[in-house]
Structure 1
Amino acid sequence: MADPGARPYRGVTAGVRHAERRRRFLAAGLDLLGAEPPVELTMRVICRQAGLSPRYFYENFTDKDEFVAAVFDDVVATLAATTQAAVAAAPPAEQNRAGIANIVHSIESDPRVGRLLFSARLSNAVLLRKRAEQGGLFAMLSSEHIQSALRVAATPRIAAIAHFVVGGVGETLSAWLAGAVGLSAEELVDQLTSTIDRLNEPRLFRA
């Protein structure tokens, strides 16, 4: 017997309805996790923000931890995709600026994204773990960019610089979001770009 839930409803297929419900939960998650001040994350709060019942929550996520991880991954995937596109579209000499500018302007235009990815006030254990994983991923991408720009093979020195860049940029963005760095978005882009550009010195990567 066919599943009634799989039938089209008002011309909308079950798959489309499912995707839309998931999108609403992810949007609600960004609203809640990126709120200022932070909001206590409960099932009731999540479902109320999404405008959906717990039944649909469990249709998409096994528990709150999986939900938080999915929200984080969705935000990171979007930011990574737009940043990589900005870098790819820029001339080699402007690629550092293009990447930094995209990140800074993205979190300026949507502070929820900045708080989710960089705020020191968030203490959710899943977010802290995902941030650590994100740092490793971005360090790998940074390392690959250095290798490509300087046409050198991977070395421990390149890995060290890549982690330094990712950690330094992340801490600076966190401080900027908290108001501890009194620069405009453009000034911050200039400062970070000029600092990172100075790390493209080949002597830094020689044994």
Structure 2
Amino acid sequence: MTEQQIIEEKSIKKTANERQFKGMSLSERKLARREKLIEAGIEAYGNHGFFSVTVKDICTEAKLTERYFYESFKKSEELFQTIFLQLIEKLQKTVMEGVMQAAPEPKNMIHSGLTALFTLLKDDPRVARIIYVDAMLVQELHNHATIQETMGRFDRMIHAFVMLMLPHIDRSEREISLVATGLNGYVTQIAVRWVMGGFKQSLEEIVTACEVVFIALINTFAQK
């Protein structure tokens, strides 16, 4: 057998190993199982809390064996971190879309962005619990600086939001950055209280409580 024939035979074998099952290759099936685990994690963690859920619970929810869990994740904290970052990205995108839809009037942008944020949390309490309750308690996220980096992303988003509303603002970057961090912390604490309190206060009350601070900022920064 020539070298070329050997290469072709290996290629055929490799293709056979990737042969599709129900229209999916091995790699596609692995990715599909990973997505099922993520969906199961959102459901389990979001309804019962991270510390009440085991790997077995996740697998039962996903209708997969535990070996498939460890095919994609080393431990439950890794799955939780993956879910947390995915949900944060979704939340951030939702807020930005809300802000941009109401541009360019600053007060409308504030109202729309905050409404988008809190509506998402209320519509899907699982997301709210994972982001604003369990994520604050899972030490693994703090050890890997995931929480700090995530908060930094929201700080930067608010910073950009301020610059978008007040393009000619006469303030230093350092001052705007500090204020953005403060605003992020304020909204986060309101969200935590609302989520842990079972959404008892109305959406309108929560949005208004946050709007007051943002509008005060706009009025103060707009002054020469």
Q: TM-score range by the shorter chain?
A: 0.7 to 0.9
2:133 pairs with one of 113, 119, 144: 119
SS of equivalent to 1:201: helix
Larger deviation: 5-14 or 72-81? 5-14
Counterpart for residue 24 of structure 1? 36
Aligned length: 206
SS of equivalent to 1:143: helix
Q: 1:204 to 1:91 in 2, by over 3 A?
A: closer
Q: Give, in whole Å, the separation in 2 of the partners of 1:109 and 1:180.
A: 12
Is residue 2:197 matched to residue 1:179? yes
Is residue 2:105 matched to residue 1:86? no
Q: 1:29 to 1:181 in 2, by over 3 A?
A: closer
8 Å contact from structure 1 (residues 105, 185) kept in 2: yes
Counterpart for residue 134 of structure 1? 150
Q: Cα distance, 1:170 vs. partner?
A: 0.4
1:89-130: CA deviation from partner (whole Å, max 9, x where unpaired): 212221111111111010101111111111279621134543
Is residue 2:82 matched to residue 1:48? no
- The one-letter amino acid paired with 1:81 is K
Where structure 2 has 5 or more consecutive residues not aligned to the other structure, the ranges are 1-12
Counterpart for residue 77 of structure 2? 65
SS of equivalent to 1:9: coil
SS of equivalent to 2:21: coil
TM-score (norm 2): 0.80
Q: 1:62 to 1:13 in 2, by over 3 A?
A: same
Counterpart for residue 150 of structure 1? 166
Is residue 2:121 matched to residue 1:107? yes
Q: Give, in whole Å, the separation in 2 of the partners of 1:86 and 1:25.
A: 30
Q: Between Structure 1 and Structure 2, which shows a larger proportion of helix residues? A: 2
Q: Cα distance, 1:82 vs. partner?
A: 1.8
- The one-letter amino acid paired with 2:188 is G
Over aligned residues, Cα RMSD in angstroms?
2.6
SS of equivalent to 2:64: coil
Where structure 1 has 5 or more consecutive residues not aligned to the other structure, the ranges are none
Q: Cα distance, 1:56 vs. partner?
A: 1.9
Q: Percent identity?
A: 23
TM-score (norm 1): 0.86
Q: Cα distance, 1:142 vs. partner?
A: 0.7
Q: 1:3 to 1:124 in 2, by over 3 A?
A: farther
Q: 1:45 to 1:176 in 2, by over 3 A?
A: same
Q: Give, in whole Å, the separation in 2 of the partners of 1:38 and 1:44.
A: 13
SS of equivalent to 1:199: helix
